[in-house]
Amino acid sequence: MTYNGSKAIAYLTPNGKYLISGLVLNLATGMNVTAGYGVKYIGKVNLVKGAAAAKIAYQCANLSGIVVGNKAAANVMIAVFNPSTPNGRQVMTAMMGEAGQMAKKGTLKVLALRMVPYGPLAPAILSAGNAGREQRLMAVLKNQSPGYVTDMGTRFAQRNQVVLGNIPMKPPFLVILFPQAGISAAIPVRNLMRVESTVKSAEILAGHAQ
C-alpha cells in the first residue's frame, strides 16, 4: 500500500475489517514473510555490508548531528536525511518516534542513535548544542523555524555536505555499526518500512549486547 507517499506491506483480514501492518514471520520456517513481499512488491534493498558499510559508518560517525542515547556506546545507528524534502522529513519523523520507543525499552543504554541532517535547514539545526539541535528538529516537525544560523552551524553543515559527497550512497540512508557483534550495514531508505525493519534489527542486536 501507499500512505503519505511511502510504500509499505500491509495485510487485510478476510472479513475486510482490519488492515494490519508490521513484521510477519513464518514460525515453521523462520522466513521473514514481510521482507519477501517487500522485495516482490516494493523493490530489492541495495544493502551495503561488511568493510564497505563499516567505512560509510565511520565517515558518518564523524558528521555533525544529534546524538540520542549513550554517547560512549560502541554500537551506533545513524540516520542521514534532508529535513527539507518530503522523504527526508518522513525519515526524520520516524526516527524521532523510534528514538522515544527505544529509550523506553532501554535500547539506548547500549546504543547511540545519531541523526545527521543536511540540506538547506542543516545550518540552523546545527547552530546549537546537542540538546538545542534536538529542539530545533522538533521545531521543523511542527513547521516552525529552526532558529538563527551561526557561523559554526554553517561550517558544520558544509562539512556534512562535503563528506556525504564522498559516500557512495545517496541519502536518506541508515547505517548500523555493531562492532561487538561484528555487524555493519548501510541501507538506503525509500520508504518507512525500511526504517521500521532496520530499527527492529538494531533493537535485537542491542538486546544481545546488554
The mean pLDDT values, 10 residues at a time, for the chain of 210 residues are 51 69 64 60 58 84 88 86 90 85 82 91 96 94 94 96 91 84 80 69 66
Side-chain-side CA neighbours of 27 within 13 Å: the count stands at: 0
* pLDDT of the residue at 61: 78
Is the domain 45-209 a CATH 3.40.50.880 member?
A: no
What three-state secondary structure class fits 171?
coil
Q: Which residues make Cβ contacts (< 8 Å) with residue 18, sequence separation at least 6?
A: 12
**What whole-number distance in Å separates Cα of residue 177 and Cα of residue 181?**
9
First to last CA, the chain: 36
**Domain ranges in the chain?**
1-44, 45-209
Q: Are 158 and 117 in contact (CB under 8 A)?
A: no
Res 178: pLDDT:
82
How confident is the model at residue 168, as a pLDDT?
A: 86
Q: What is the pLDDT of residue 82?
A: 95
Cis peptide before 123 (omega within 30 of 0): no
Q: Are 25 and 33 in contact (CB under 8 A)?
A: yes
Cell of 185: 550495514
Give pLDDT tens digits for 163-201. Answer: 999 998 889 998 888 877 777 888 888 766 667 767 777
| Pairing status of strand 66-69 against strand 111-117 | antiparallel
**Residue 160 pLDDT:** 95
**SS3 at position 2:** strand
